[in-house]
Structure 1
Amino acid sequence: MRDPAELYELHPGFDDVTGLVMLVCLDGFVDAGNAGSQLSESLFERFTAEQVVTFDVDRLVDYRRRRPQMTFVENVWTDYTPPKLALYRMHDADGHPFLVLYGPEPDGEWEAFTAAVSSLVERFSVSLSISVHGIPMAVPHTRPVTVTPHSTRPELIEGHTPWIGRVEVPASASALLEYRLGENDHDFVGYAIHVPSYLAQSTYPRAAIAALEYVAGATGLALPSEELEEVAASTDVEIAEQVAASEEVQRVVANLERQYDDIMSSRSEEGGGPVPLSDDGTGLPTADELGAELERFLAEREGDGNG
């Protein structure tokens, strides 16, 4: 493996960037409801971002898989938008600084990339790294959003009851980074936000709000969610209207509500335990059972640019 330091360029003027938390926001892995991407977009819309480190995307990104955008006007190319993967510094609503690792998930050189980020974690004495993304689960949109937390030390997620036991899943660069940092005794916390499976392909603001709240709770950062709340309120109304218009959708949501309530009651009485909320073939409704009405509604909503 080549020197990981060759993967990035340090920008001058950031010698004081030490002891901060770092949000890991890599685009490209599973993100049901666009929970993680909504969170990162809200951060860049609200706060000023200063580039601390820029990564060599020519080495990390497969352009033929994720082709950058170019603009053509009449008979000439007028613009090119290259991908960017960088470490940024932002300041929260109270003026406290924090770091954000943002950009496309690397297509290759994962070990070199994680080694490079690990060296930056040590260089800047990052106090805590944190990631969020959405995963599809058989949960109803009418109940509080739940989460599967994970961390490099049990103490970091103390009080959270596991939802699942052992499971084999496809890897991600973010998960590998968490694993490698844990091997070197660096703190990392991740939150997999549970998104109703029938809304997994849509933009679901409630998931993003939950992600924001978990990040704020773990880091102490002041991360307002007013804009997301406004969008979520509008989305809630639209979903409620669609559910009310279909008896089939109402039946499926009601079944999911009963399943959710039974599991939550059981966890409360028995002191918790790994109980997965997922489609397991036991007669519970699947995402497909929501019917064509809800799927068509969500597809039309995305097509209108309202997602």
Structure 2
Amino acid sequence: MFDPTDLYRFSGDVPELTDPVLLYHFDGFVDAGGAGRLAIGHLLDELEHRVVATFDVDRLLDYRSRRPIMTFDTDRWVGVESPEIVLRLAHDTAGTPFLLLSGPEPDREWELFTAALDTLVTRLGVSRLVTVHGIPMAAPHTRPLGMTSHASRPELIGGQTSAFGKVQVPGSVAGLIEFRLGAKGHDALGYAVHVPHYLAQAEYPAAAVTALEAVTKGTGLVFPLEGLREAAERTNVEIAEQIAASQELSTAITGLEQQYDAFAAGSERENLMAEPSEMPTGDELAAQFEAFLAERDERRGE
């Protein structure tokens, strides 16, 4: 039997905290629009933080499935970007301490990793674990972003309704953490932001804003969101420009708006479209937006 505490090591003094929230996200699982990645990245950019503990990535990652980037210069190797799974201590804008866990999703030893996190959560007195990510949905970006909340106890999300029934999906470490630690009595919850399916492969800052606003509502933590909101506004302006330049995109978005509005009004699902119409598929819409975003990035690099 392996000892879960062998999977991580503390960096310096272990902080003495009072019921901190632990916010976590792992790269590698579904994250439409980069909602979770952008949210965590924004917090790390905006808030002071320090490393509390690091995990043994040699045991957790399969380097051959996602090889680390190495730098070769002329006749020798001069650097390597080693992956890290790190637990950090940060403070929100009100000075409230909280924990951030991020890095690539482990490839192996999920149960041991979850057990290791359980020991950390217990040692640090964590009151609540929270995760965020994005999922693609057939909804227009011109309407408020929806969200699916889930938790180890229904009381944690206030009885919010869900667009989903009982389904089976590929698992994730984030989901396993909520399931296993919830079974042990820890409060764990998550927010899956509904990202327009045609923007799922692009960076969509509005989704990160929605995710962090949900975290604030669920935990009381307050984050600096001005820069992220400005990025979201710029992105929305660029998307509007692309749509205005394409009749096909304009027609498709109008159709999605009609479906959304009909659904919001309580119409039957078979009547979501006002009139039958030929619309591009999600993949076709995404391809057009990806081409637009690539052109935008090229213009920025000039």
> Same fold by TM-score, threshold 0.5 exceeded?
yes
**1:290 corresponds to which of 285, 291, 302:** 285
Code of the aligned partner of 2:174: S
Please name the residue that 2:161 is paired with.
Answer: 161
Answering whether residue 295 of structure 2 is matched by residue 300 of structure 1, we say yes
Distance of aligned partners of 1:105 and 1:303 in 2 relative to their CA distance in 1, 3 Å threshold: farther
The alpha carbon displacement at 1:304 in A equals 5.8
One-letter amino acid matched to 1:197: H
Offset, 1:13: 1.6
Show the 5 A alignment for 1:42-57: 42-57=42-57
Shift of 1:211: 0.7
Counterpart residue type for residue 290 of structure 1: L
Unaligned residue ranges in structure 1 (runs of 5+): 268-273
User: Hey, what does 2:148 align to over in structure 1?
Assistant: 148
Q: How many residues align?
A: 296
The share of aligned pairs that are identical, in percent, is 51
The structure 1 segments of at least 4 consecutive aligned residues displaced by more than 4 Å after TM superposition are 282-285, 302-306
CA distance in 1, matches of 2:300, 2:207: 19
Q: Which residue of 1 aligns with 2:250?
A: 250
- Alignment root-mean-square deviation, CA: 2.3
SS of the equivalent of 2:293 reads: helix
Q: Decide whether the 8 Å contact of 1:255 with 1:285 is kept in 2.
A: no
TM-score w.r.t. structure 1 length?
0.90
- Cα offset, 1:301, TM superposition: 3.5
Would the aligned equivalents of 1:156 and 1:189 in 2 still touch at CA under 8 Å? yes
| Partners of 1:192 and 1:148 in 2: CA distance | 5
Q: Distance in 1 between matches of 2:38 and 2:289?
A: 22
1:216 Cα deviation (Å)? Answer: 1.2
The alpha-carbon distance between structure 1 residues 56 and 201, as it changes in their structure 2 partners (threshold 3 A), is same
2:178 maps to amino acid: E
Cα pair 2:39 2:212 within 8 Å, conserved? yes
Partner AA of 1:297 in structure 2: F
Residue in structure 1 matched with residue 209 of structure 2 by the alignment: 209
Aligned to 1:29, what secondary structure does the other structure show? Answer: coil
Measure the CA separation in 1 of the matches of 2:117 and 2:83. Answer: 18
**Correspondences of 1:232-247 after superposition (within 5 Å):** 232-247=232-247
Deviates more, 1:141-150 or 1:218-227: 218-227
User: How far apart, in 1, do the equivalents of 2:231 and 2:152 lie?
Assistant: 34
What do the CA deviations read for 1:66-104 (whole angstroms, capped 9, x no partner)? 111222222222222211111110011111100011111
Match of 1:231 in 2: 231
- Contact preservation (8 Å) 2:151, 2:190: yes
Residue 108 (structure 2) pairs with residue 113 (structure 1): no
For the 8 Å contact 1:252–1:289, the answer to whether it is kept is no
Q: Secondary structure at the match of 1:266?
A: coil
- Give the deviation of 1:284 after TM superposition: 7.5
C-alpha displacement at 1:285, in angstroms? 5.9
Whole-Å separation in 1 of the counterparts to 2:51 and 2:292: 40
Distance in 1 (alpha carbons) for counterparts of 2:123 and 2:194: 34
- Secondary structure of the residue that 2:289 maps to in structure 1? helix
In structure 2, distance between residues paired with 1:116 and 1:245: 52
Task: Give the AA of the match of 1:298.
Answer: L
Deviation at 1:116, TM superposition (A): 0.3
Q: Distance in 2 between matches of 1:149 and 1:303?
A: 37
1:5-20, aligned counterparts within 5 Å?
A: 5-20=5-20
Report deviation, 1:159.
4.3
